[in-house]
């Protein structure tokens, strides 16, 4: 930790952004995080399992997730379940989702000013959305955009969400200070070109001690974990 005592940077990939933000907001006494560079992070949540096609298994998985995702059995066994946010099930989400409501300071009676202070202390927050992202629903969650509570009809930009306007985690504070970069790049989930990486990521890492938080093949880990859980639930697991 001595090497990080003067501060360090985080590069978060997909689900890794949830871990990175947890480090920023929840950890006491650690070295400061300077720049947070986020690629395809589900910051405002995701409303469905990653796109896997129109087959029967995918349809069943999606239906099961939407019906049962806030049960403790899902929350305790599937990491991505902790940031699923169904816009028409907000009460269940706030009560049953184990991680994202805390991370985003969404529970009215449980808001923590320390989380906001720590997040707002970043020198730069770089949010990168992929235009053809079919893993995150909606893709704008990478920029803190999301569906309004109670509706699937449209996607609000970050600046029109309550998280921003009421400044639950300090995002508005950072933005008004010119410290947030909202960036769109072409490509699918995490498919960033070398030129875009050099343009949008490298400048924040030069001459700095950095740490990269990654999750390997998040799409396949997600589907595999759901399928394994389903098999166990209906008694199909081996042994």
> What tens digit of pLDDT does each residue of 64-96 get?
666 788 999 888 888 888 999 999 999 999 999
2-233: CATH superfamily:
Alpha/Beta hydrolase fold, catalytic domain (3.40.50.1820)
User: 117: Cβ–Cβ under 8 A, 6 or more apart, which residues?
Assistant: 170
Distance (Å, whole) CA 87 – CA 156: 12
> What tens digit of pLDDT does each residue of 201-236 get?
999 997 544 444 443 444 444 444 444 544 454 444
CB 17, CB 190: distance < 8 Å: no
Catalytic residue from among 38, 133, 142, 175: 133
Instruction: Verify whether residue 189 is a known catalytic residue.
Output: yes
> What tens digit of pLDDT does each residue of 159-193 get?
999 999 999 999 999 999 999 999 999 999 999 99
Name the strand (E) or helix (H) holding 213. strand 210-213
Instruction: Verify whether residue 133 is a known catalytic residue.
Output: yes
Catalytic residue from among 14, 38, 82, 142: 14
Instruction: Verify whether residue 110 is a known catalytic residue.
Output: no
> What tens digit of pLDDT does each residue of 108-143 get?
999 999 999 999 999 999 999 999 999 999 999 999
Q: Which residue has the higher pLDDT, 53 or 114?
A: 114
pLDDT recorded at residue 77: 86
Pick the closest to residue 35 from 212, 192, 187 (CA basis). Answer: 212
Q: What is the pTM of this model?
A: 0.83
């Amino acid at each position: 930790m001595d090497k990080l005592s003067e501060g360090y940077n985080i590069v978060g990939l997909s689900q890794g952004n949830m871990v990175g933000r947890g480090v920023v907001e929840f950890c006491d006494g650690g070295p400061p995080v300077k720049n947070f560079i986020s690629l395809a992070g589900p910051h405002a949540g995701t409303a469905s399992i990653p796109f896997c096609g129109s087959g029967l298994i995918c349809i069943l998985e999606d239906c099961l997730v939407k019906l049962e995702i806030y049960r403790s059995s899902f929350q305790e066994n599937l990491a991505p379940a902790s940031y699923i946010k169904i816009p028409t099930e907000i009460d269940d989400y706030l009560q049953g989702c184990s991680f994202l409501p805390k991370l985003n300071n969404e529970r009215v009676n449980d808001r923590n000013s320390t989380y906001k202070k720590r997040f707002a202390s970043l020198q730069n927050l770089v949010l990168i959305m992929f235009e053809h992202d079919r893993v995150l629903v909606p893709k704008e969650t990478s920029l803190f955009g999301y569906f309004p509570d109670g509706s699937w009809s449209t996607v609000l930009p970050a600046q029109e969400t309550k998280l921003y306007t009421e400044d639950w985690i300090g995002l508005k504070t950072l933005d008004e200070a010119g410290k947030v970069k909202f960036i769109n790049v072409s490509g699918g989930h995490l498919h960033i070109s070398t030129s875009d990486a050099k343009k949008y990521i490298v400048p924040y890492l030069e001459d700095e001690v950095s740490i990269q938080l990654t999750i390997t093949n998040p799409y396949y880990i997600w589907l595999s974990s759901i399928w394994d859980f389903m098999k166990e639930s209906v008694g199909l697991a081996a042994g």
